[in-house]
Amino acid sequence: MKKKAPVTKNQEFEATVVDLTYDGNGVVKYDDFPIFVTNAVPGEKIIVGVTKVTSNYGFGRVVKRLSESPDRNADIDAKVLQSGVAPLAHLTYPAQLKHKQKQVADVFNKQHVAVDVAPTIGMENPWGYRNKAQIPVREINGELTTGFYRRGSHRLQPMEDFYIQDPKIDEAIVVIRDILRKYHVAAYDEVNHKGVVRTIMVRRGYYSHQMMVVLVTRAKRLPAAEYIVNDIREALPEVVSIIQNVNQEKTNVIMGDQNKVLWGQKAIKDTLLGKTFAIGPNSFYQVNPAMTEVLYQTATEKAELKPTDVVIDAYSGIGTISLTIADHVKSVLGVEVVPEAVDDAKRNADINGTDNVRFELGKAEDKMVQWADEGLKPDVIFLDPPRKGLTQELIDAAVKMAPEKVVYISCNPATLARDVALFEAQGYRVNGDVQPIDQFPQTTHVESVTVLTK
């Protein structure tokens, strides 16, 4: 029999916030029944209004705040929290860093893996850091509008200041929006799969200040393209590349496969730890370069690399890790599943004159199994997997190669803790502490570096 929840929708009660979920909601309990409340900080006494109830938990809002936590960031605009751009912005920055450290520690405790988690390394200025924006374009009140989806919905909320993006990118989005309005270009209509412009993407080099504008269109033809290009060039002198990306699918995947260069270069360049990278419209490039440098430096230091080391870089992308560590080691072998990224990586190796790296196309787990069977014996393996973490085959292949060290860069603490437990079951141990790094301030994401030794 389904147990009945002890609260009902629209009920109000007084409670103290006892915890914070990983996605930044406060937790209150009613007879041990958890209710998740937006914009509530642990320690605060509030009157909760229940907005939704399921059999195991509920959702609520703050009707009234009876006491305020010293960890509350009172300077934040409610619109920011509604939009989902910055779900942790209601916490002071030191409180965000503590929350992320606790988040990493909690998942290891759940997996019964004993580790020390170091305090999170944060940013000096945790705002305006993103070097890439993908902003949806929709029609609101008969006008082409840019903004961001409201939290937990697909309703566009008009916005001009995105807080965590490079302010120059925010300015560019508004300029481009106004140019598209001037030429009466139709915004994408998701319901009827009509209209022209779906998304405006802008990338800006952190060091180079080169800007790329990508107009993602449903239609193959961009009306008034020539005029739009001229206006963008005139209004935004940093722009060196204007590209039309065609995505005709009825999908929420942002980019399509087809890119047309409308003007300028097909890639922009930027530097990371002194190496130069070419970044195309579809390239995966870290969105917070300042903290990426901290992340890679931390990983390199923790790995204690030697000039004789042979290194595998699984999930090598456009070669960012491979090229930043290449100077410290004998050779690096990278593997990546996206063909364009492998081409980018090879081009980036040429740009930097780095000749001790090699990049191969394939799934990391397949290549690692193949290399293990061929008897390849790396000294160090760098792993930087997507959010879903590693497969058992990859872990088995890594263990079979018996590297001295495995350096695991993770963007998801839950899969990290699970994978570390699997490595421990095969004789590897966490060496030193797990180091969280705040790559995405004001959001719920946390990166970390963990070194495993035999």
The residues carrying an active-site annotation are 411
For the residues of 360-383, what is the DSSP string, one character each? EES-HHHHHHHHHHTT---SEEEE
Q: What is the 3-state secondary structure (H, E, C) of 172-240?
A: HHHHHHHHHHHCCCCECECCCCECCEEEEEEEECCCCCCEEEEEEECCCCCCCHHHHHHHHHHHCCCEE
Cα–chain-centroid distance for residue 447?
Answer: 9
* CA pair distance 355, 348, nearest whole angstrom: 11
CA distances from residue 121 to 237, 274, 287, 441 in whole angstroms, order as listed: 35, 22, 17, 11
| Nearest to 59, CA basis, from 39, 42, 45 | 39
382 φ/ψ angles, rounded to the nearest 5 degrees: -95, 130
CB atoms within 10 A of CB 174: 13
Residue 125 identity: N
Which residues sit opposite 13 in a β-bridge?
48
Cα 188–Cα 445–Cα 29 angle in degrees, nearest 5: 105
* CA pair distance 395, 148, nearest whole angstrom: 38
The SS3 of residue 174 is helix
